Structure 1
């Protein structure tokens, strides 16, 4: 598994999520701890999805060889 593919996407997702949460929190007062937990869960989930996709691709490549 390579982390080179995973890190940039997760970072960009985290940045966009943080921005959207900031916009939402201005509209309606949501506890920061709740939004932080939601962001963490979403980022970790997307990171695992990315890892799974990359590992599947690599295993497919090794099978082709």
Structure 2
């Protein structure tokens, strides 16, 4: 659980637009590898989505064409 806490603290200090970019990059990387997410990628995505949700960001708009 401390890994998640450390990720949360690190990411929470970053600007929202950078967090959006990081989440987008992780998601697109997973799409290119046929959805084979590693455990580490899953942790990062979970924390990023949580922080962005707390900041009232509509995550679905990041992936609109």
TM-score, normalised with respect to structure 2: 0.35
Greater helix content:
1
Higher relative contact order (CA 8 A, sep 6+): 1
Which structure has the bigger radius of gyration?
Answer: 1
TM-score, normalised with respect to structure 1: 0.35
